[in-house]
Amino acid sequence: MDAVAGQDVRRPLPDGLGTAIRGTAEDIAALLRAGADTERRIPGAEWSVGEAAAHLALANELMAGLAAGHARPYGDGTPQSLAAANERSLAEFGERRAEPLAAMIVEHADACAASLEEGTLEGPVVTPLGTMGPQDLGAYLLTHMLGHGYDLARALGRPHMLDRARVALTLPFLLTAMPRVAEPSAVVGMNARYAVRLWGGGAFGVTLADGAVSVDERPPAGPDCTISIEPVTFLLMALGRQGQVGPILRGRILVRGRKPWLAPRFPGLFTAP
């Protein structure tokens, strides 16, 4: 909140989100500028480093356009349509060199953050994953960069840029997206109340009632199952980059409640956005 001419100007972004967006973009650019082999394949994925970096450049440009108030249709929100839109955009965009892509990733991330900080958007905007306000859009951009940034770091054998503070700033997007990416076959007929608590702060609730999924910023009273999880582990699992067995064995996921057997079902209730 800034004081301008004796009045308070409320920024649409929470504290730290603009900094996290720019810092994550710079961290990804640093990976690419450190002599990255853009033809190297990303483990467990179909893309190369160059293709993933090109996708990030294109996605950041799309997000910057949305933040500036421009309509940018991109799929219909289903995983299949988003995958098809990704492949079309990559086929139409030939740049795969590390330095130009690094510059584009940073430029468009900064433009998106600046538009959101300046309050350019006067209302919700239609994104690839549904209608969102400025805070959710900023968290969406950050989440998307962290997921693909993690992939690039892993492929290049470098440290990733995920940390507790950045993960906390992704929650507005994740809570908005979760009902939209619920897996119908997994939630059908299910009745359960989950509390999810991130180590160091951050919590939310997920309620399933006869297959209908609702997500709340506050955990429910008397949940059936409480999942306490290390934040980076939470985001990697939410984005489909990590399974649950390893984190459980390493003590990064703790479970309590009267129905603890519901915990292993939780990741499968959603398709990674």
**Which helix (H) or strand (E) covers residue 19, if one does?**
helix 17-33
Q: What is the pLDDT of residue 2?
A: 37
Please give the tally of structural domains in the chain.
2
The answer as to whether 85 is a domain residue is yes
- Helix (H, G, I), strand (E, B), or coil: what is residue 68? coil
Q: Give the Cα separation of 232 and 75 in Å (integer).
A: 28
Q: What angle do CA 119, 125, 128 make, to 5 degrees?
A: 130
Q: What is the pLDDT of residue 57?
A: 98
**Which helix (H) or strand (E) covers residue 8, if one does?**
strand 7-9
The boundaries of the domain holding residue 222 are: 182-269
The tens place of each residue's pLDDT in the chain, 273 residues long, gives 333 343 334 456 889 999 999 999 999 999 999 989 999 999 988 999 999 999 999 999 999 999 999 999 898 878 888 989 999 999 999 999 999 999 999 999 999 999 999 988 888 999 999 999 999 999 999 999 999 999 999 999 999 999 999 999 999 999 999 999 999 999 999 999 999 999 999 999 999 999 899 999 999 999 999 999 999 999 999 999 999 999 999 999 999 999 999 999 999 999 987
Same domain, 17 and 146: yes
Same domain, 48 and 96: yes
The answer as to whether 236 is a domain residue is yes
The answer as to whether 174 is a domain residue is no
Same domain, 160 and 196: no
Q: Look up the pTM and report it.
A: 0.93
- How many residues make up the chain in this entry? 273
Same domain, 35 and 150: yes
Same domain, 198 and 155: no
Q: What is the pLDDT of residue 14?
A: 87
Q: Give the Cα separation of 255 and 226 in Å (integer).
A: 6
The answer as to whether 173 is a domain residue is no
Fill in the DSSP letter of residue 200.
Answer: T
- Residue 266 · residue 247 · CB < 8 Å: no
Same domain, 159 and 204: no
Q: Give the Cα separation of 256 and 269 in Å (integer).
A: 19
Q: What is the pLDDT of residue 4?
A: 37
Q: What is the pLDDT of residue 112?
A: 97
Q: Which of 166, 200, 224 is the last residue of a domain?
A: 166
Same domain, 23 and 110: yes
Same domain, 23 and 149: yes
The answer as to whether 171 is a domain residue is no
Q: What is the pLDDT of residue 11?
A: 53
Q: Which of 138, 166, 194 is the last residue of a domain?
A: 166
Q: What is the pLDDT of residue 61?
A: 98
